[in-house]
Structure 1
Amino acid sequence: MEAVTFILELLVVLGAIIMGTRSSGVGLGLWGGTGVAILVFVFREPVGSPPVDALLIVLSVVLASSMMQAAGGIDWMVGVAAKLISRSPKQITLVAPLVSFLFSAGAGTSNILYPLLPVIQDLSYKNNIRPSRPLSLSVVATGVALACSPVSAAMAAMVTLTDAPAYGYELIDIVKVTFPAAVVGIVLASFVVSRLGKDIADDPEIQARIAAGKFEAPKQDGPLSHADVAPTAKGRNAALIFLGGVLVIVIFGLFKDLRPLVPGVIDGAPGQVPLAMTPIIEIVMFVVGTLILLVARPKVAEIPTMTVFKAGMVSAIALFGLAWLTDTFLGAHQQVIADTVGGWVGNWPWIFALGIFLVCVLTTSQSTATRTVVPIGLAAGIPLGLLSGMWAGAFAGIYLLPTNGSQIAAANFDYTGSTKLGTKLVDHSFFVPTLVLAGFTIIAGAGFGLLWG
C-alpha cells in the first residue's frame, strides 16, 4: 500500500510540473500549490515548509536590481560589455560568451544579454564569423552564470538548502567551485562551437540572401550596430553601487569574522555564531536599493514596470508553488527516497546532474530545478563540492529546447538566418552548444568540487 501511495503522489508531483510547464510563468507556481492541496487534503500528508528564506532573498535582490535598472544601471553595464566584446572581434566566439557570462553573474539575471545580441551579431558578421556561433554560446552561457551569481534566484534557493547546520556549506563554498567550472566550460565549449555550421563564404543560404540584396557581404569598415541604450552617469552610479553590494556579499562570505555574532549552537552547546549568509544577502540588497534611491534617484513608481521586476516576481511565484510541493512530497517519503533514489544517486552521481538538467529542460527555471532535485542529492550524501559543480553545469539545460525568450531574440536579431530555432526540437542552433557547455562544465565542476569541496 505504501508503494502505491508513493507512486500516486509522485504522479501528482510530475503532473503538476508538466501542467505548470504547459502554462509557463506564474502557472508553475499555481500548479505547484494545487499539487500541495492534493497531497495534503487527498493523501493526508503533512504540509511541507514553503521556501520562505529563498523567497525573501529573491524579493530583496529583485527590488535592488529593479532599482538599478530604473536608474539606467543595466544600460550602463551593457555599454561596458559591448566595448569589451568589440576589442577582440576575431575571438568573438570566446569573448562574447565570457562577457555575457560575467555580466549575467554580476547582475544576477540573464536579461542583460538582450541588448547585447545585436552587437554580437554585427561584430561577428563583419569579421566573417558565422553569427550563430557566438550568439548561441552567449545565450547558453547566461544559464550557467546564474549558478555563479551571489544574487540570482537559483543561488538563493541553493544557499538556503546547503547552509543549514547539518551541512554548513555557504555561498562562498559554492561559488569557488561553480565559477571556475563555468569559465573552463565556456572556454572549452567555444572551441567546439567555433566549428559548428558552415563559414559565411560556404553557406549557400547566406550567399543567396546576399545575392538577393537582402544585406551586404561582410565588411569591416561600416558603423557598429550598438544596442539601443543610452548610458548615463546615474546609470553608472547605480550599477557600481549594485556591483559593490555583490562584492560586499562575497567579502562577508569569505571572512566570517566580519559578520555580527548571534545566539547559536557550537559543538552541541549554546554559544555565539556568525550571522548566516541568508539574512546578510537580504540586508545588503535592501541597503543597495536605498543607496541607489538616494544617489541615482530612479522613479520609484516605475519599479513594477521594469523587466527585471516582472521576471523576478514570476520566478518567485514559480519557486513558491513548486518548491512547496516538492518539500511536502520529499518530507512525506524521505526514508523511501533516501533508500532508493538516494542510493542510485549515491552510486552514480551523474544521475543527479541529469535530474537537474531534465528539470531545467521541462521548467526552464534553474531555481525550480534546485529546489526539486538538490534535496535528493543532499539526502543521498553526495559531497557538497561535487554536488555544486554538477549543479552549475546542468543549468545549461534550460536552452535544450528552443522555447526561451533569449533564444528567440537571438534568432530574430541574426538577419543572416544562421541562428535557427528549427522545426524538430533538436535541429536548432542552441542544441549542440547546450550539450557541450553542460558536459564540459559538469566535468570541470566535478573536478573542482572534489578538489576544493
Structure 2
Amino acid sequence: MEAVKIVLELAVVLGAIVMGTRSSGVALGLWGGAGVAVLVFVFGEDVGSPPVDALLIVLSVVLASSMMQAAGGIDWMVTIAAKLIESRPKQITLIAPLVSFLFSVGAGTSNILYPLLPVIYDVSYKNGVRPSRPLSLSVVSTGVALACSPVSAAMAAMVTLTDVPPYDFELIDIIKITFPAAVVGIVLSSIAVNRLGKDLDDDPEIQAKLKSGELAGPGAASKTELVSTKTGRNAALIFLAGVLAIVIFGLFKGIRPEAADGTPMGMTPIIEMLMFVVGTLILLVCRPNVADVPSSTVFRAGMVSAIALFGLAWLTDTFISAHSELITSTVGDWVNAAPWIFALGVFLVCVLTTSQSTATRTIVPIGLAAGIAPGLVSGMWAGAFAGVYLLPTNGSQIAAANFDLSGSTKLGSKLVDHSFFLPTIILAVTTIAAGALFGVVLG
C-alpha cells in the first residue's frame, strides 16, 4: 500500500512539472503550489519548506541587475563584449561563446546575449565562417554560465542547498569547480562545433540565395550599431564591483561579519545585502528612472524565475522530505553505482522546464541525499545546464535563427534536427566530464 502511495505522489510531482511546462512561465510555480496542496490535503504529508533563502537572493539580485539595466549598464556591457568578439574574427567560434559565457557570468543572466546575436552573425558571415557555428554554441554557453555566476537564480538555489551542515560547501567552493569546467567544456566544444555543417562556399542553399540576390555577399553584411553611455558604464562597473565583492567575501571568511554564535556569517545574507547596496549605489550615482525597472526584461524574467522556483521547489521538498529514507537507500544505490544518472536527471529537468533553478531545487537535493559529494554534484550540475537548449523552444534560439540571414541556423521540424541539438549534447558531455574531474580533485 505504501508503494502505491509513493507512486501516486510521484505522479503528482511529475504531472505538475509537465503541466507547468506546457503553459511555461509563472504556470510552473502555480502547478508546483497546487501539487503541494494535493500532497498535503489528499495524501496527508507534512508540508515541506519553501525555498525562502533562495527566493530572497533571487529578488535582491534581480532588483540590482534591473537597476543596472534601467541605467544602461547592460547596453554598455554588450558594447564591450561586441568589441571582444570583433577583435578575433577568424576564431569567432571560440571567442563568441567564451565572451557570451563570461558576460552572462558577470550579469547573472543569459539575456545579455540577445543584442550580441547580430554582432556574432555579422562578424562570422563577413569572415566566411558558417554563422550557425558561433551562434549555436554562444547560445548554449550562456546556459552553463549560470552555474558559474555568483548572482544567478540557479546559483542562489544551489548555495542554499550546499552551504548548510553537513556539507558546508560555500559559493566559492562551487565556482572554483564549475567555472574551469565550463571553460574547458566550451573550448573543447568549439573544436567540434567548428566542424558542424558545410562551409559557406559548399552549402548549396546559401549559394542559391547568393545567386538569386536574396542574400547579400559577405562584404555587404550590415554593421550592427550598439549604443552605450557613461551612465551605463558607471552602472555596470558598480554592479560588477558588487559581484567581485561577493567573490572576495566567499574567498576570505575572516573578513565577514560574525554571526550570533561567533562564526563567520554565511554567504546567503551577504549576497542579499551587497545586492541591495549595489542597487542603492546605482540609484544614487546613475539616477535611472525607477519606474522603468518593473518593465525591464531582466526584472520580468527574474520574477517569473522566482515564482517557478517557489512553487516547484516547495513541491519537491515536500515529496523528498516525506520519503527521504527511501530516496537515500534506493536512488542512492543507483547514483553511487553510476553518478552520471544524477547529471542525466538535472539535464532532463532542464529540458522539460527550461529552468536551471527549477532543475537545481528538484534534483540536487536527491543527489546530496544519495550521498554524492558536493564537489562532484557541483561539477556535473554545471554541465547538465546545457539541457535547456536541447529543444528549439527557447527565446534566444529563436532569436539566433532570425538574426542569421544566411539561413544556416535552423530551428528544424523534428525536435532533433535543429542547429542547437549537437552543440547542446557536446557541451553537456564535455562540461560534465570536466566538472566531475574538477569536483573530485577540488571538492
Work out whether the TM-score is over 0.5.
Answer: yes
Distance in 2, matches of 1:225 and 1:16, equals 46
> Corresponding residue for 1:88?
88
Aligned residues: 443
1:148: which partner in 2?
148
- 1:226 shift after superposition: 2.0
User: How far did 1:230 drift?
Assistant: 1.6
Question: Residue in 1 aligned with 2:241?
Answer: 244
Q: Select the residue among 345, 356, 374 that pairs with 2:346.
A: 356
Q: Does 1:399 align with 2:389?
A: yes
In structure 2, C-alpha distance between the alignment counterparts of 1:138 and 1:390, rounded to whole Å = 20
Partner of 1:259: 256
Q: 1:301 aligns with which of 291, 294, 306?
A: 291
1:119 and 1:224 in contact (8 A); partners too: no
Where 2:260 maps in the other structure, the secondary structure is: strand
Q: Distance in 1 between matches of 2:169 and 2:341?
A: 22
- Listed as ranges, the matches of 1:183-262 within 5 Å are 183-219=183-219, 225-227=223-225, 229-262=226-259
Write the letter of the residue equivalent to 2:440: L
Greater CA drift, 71-80 or 379-388: 379-388
1:389, 1:329 → 2: CA distance?
25
Partner of 2:321: 331
Alignment correspondent of 2:408: 418
Superposed displacement of residue 384, structure 1: 1.2
Q: Compare 377-386 and 318-327 and name the one that shifted more.
A: 377-386
Instruction: Assess if the C-alpha contact under 8 Å between 2:125 and 2:221 holds in 1.
Output: no
Q: Which residue of 1 aligns with 2:439?
A: 449
The Cα of 1:130 is off from its aligned counterpart by: 0.2
For the Cα contact (< 8 Å) 2:122–2:221, is it kept in 1?
no
Counterpart residue type for residue 247 of structure 1: L
Matched, 1:370 2:360: yes
Deviations 1:327-368 (A, max 9, x none): 000000111111111221122110000000000000000000
Do 1:123 and 1:224's aligned partners in 2 also have CA atoms closer than 8 Å? Answer: no
2:334 maps to which of 344, 350, 355: 344
In the alignment, the residues of structure 2 paired with residue 44 and residue 225 of structure 1 have an alpha-carbon distance, to the nearest angstrom, of: 62
Q: Can you list the C-alpha shifts for 1:168-218, whole angstroms capped at 9, x where unaligned? A: 000000000000000000000000000000000000000011111012222
Rounded Cα–Cα distance in structure 1 between residues aligned with 2:353 and 2:340: 20
CA distance in 2, matches of 1:290, 1:225: 36
Equivalent residue for 1:383? 373
The answer as to whether partners of 1:82 and 1:226 remain within 8 angstroms in 2 is no
Q: Which amino acid aligns with 1:353?
A: A
Structure 1 residue 137 corresponds to structure 2 residue 127: no
Take 1:372 and 1:11, find their aligned partners in 2: how far apart are those partners?
A: 14
> Residue 372 of structure 1 aligns to a residue in which SS?
helix
Structure 2: distance between partners of 1:224 and 1:278:
45
Bigger drift between 375-384 and 423-432 goes to 375-384
For structure 1, the 5+ residue unaligned runs are 265-271
| Percent identical residues | 76
* 1:397 and 1:438 in contact (8 A); partners too: yes
CA distance in 2, matches of 1:356, 1:277: 24
Task: Please say if residues 126 and 221 of structure 2, whose CA atoms lie closer than 8 Å, have aligned partners that are also in contact.
Answer: no
CA separation in 2, counterparts of 1:80 and 1:418? 26
Report the alpha carbon displacement of residue 110 of structure 1 after superposing the two structures with TM: 0.2
Deviations 1:385-429 (A, max 9, x none): 111000000000000000000000000000000000000000000
Worse overlay, 55-64 or 160-169 = 160-169
Partners in 1 of 2:242 and 2:118 — Cα distance? 29
Unaligned runs of 5+ in 2: none
Q: Give how far 1:223 is off.
A: 7.0
SS in structure 2 opposite 1:123?
Answer: helix
Give the letter aligned to residue 118 of structure 2: P
* Correspondence for 2:58: 58
The reply on whether 1:69 has 2:69 as its aligned counterpart is: yes
Distance (Å, rounded) in 2 between the aligned partners of 1:77 and 1:275: 32
Structure 2 match to 1:435: 425
How far did residue 56 of structure 1 move?
A: 0.2
Gap change, CA 1:223 and 1:21, over 3 Å in 2: closer
The Cα offsets for residues 33-86 of structure 1, whole Å up to 9 and x where unpaired, read as: 000000000001000000000000000000000000000000000000000000
After superposition, the C-alpha distances for 1:72-103 in whole angstroms (9 at most, x for unaligned) are: 00000000000000000000000000000000
| CA distance in structure 2 between the partners assigned to 1:279 and 1:263 by the alignment | 13
CA distance in 2, matches of 1:346, 1:42: 33
What is the CA–CA distance in structure 1 between the aligned matches of 2:332 and 2:69, rounded to whole Å?
Answer: 42
Pairwise CA RMSD: 0.8
Mapped partners of 1:114, 1:179: distance in 2:
22
Letter in 2 for 1:69: Q
Q: Tell me, yes or no, if the aligned pair for 1:73 and 1:234 is still in contact at 8 Å.
A: yes
TM-score of the aligned structures, taking structure 2 as reference length = 0.99
Residues of 2 paired with 1:239 and 1:287: CA distance? 14
2:278 to 288, 296, 304: 288
**CA offsets 1:227-258 (integer angstroms, 9 cap, x no match):** 5x420000000000000000000000000000
Q: CA deviation at 1:224?
A: 5.3
Q: Please tell me whether residue 35 in structure 1 is matched to residue 35 in structure 2.
A: yes
In 1: Cα distance, 2:208 partner to 2:314 partner: 53
Aligned equivalent of 2:6 = 6
Q: What secondary structure, in the 3-state scheme, does the structure 1 residue paired with 2:263 have? A: strand
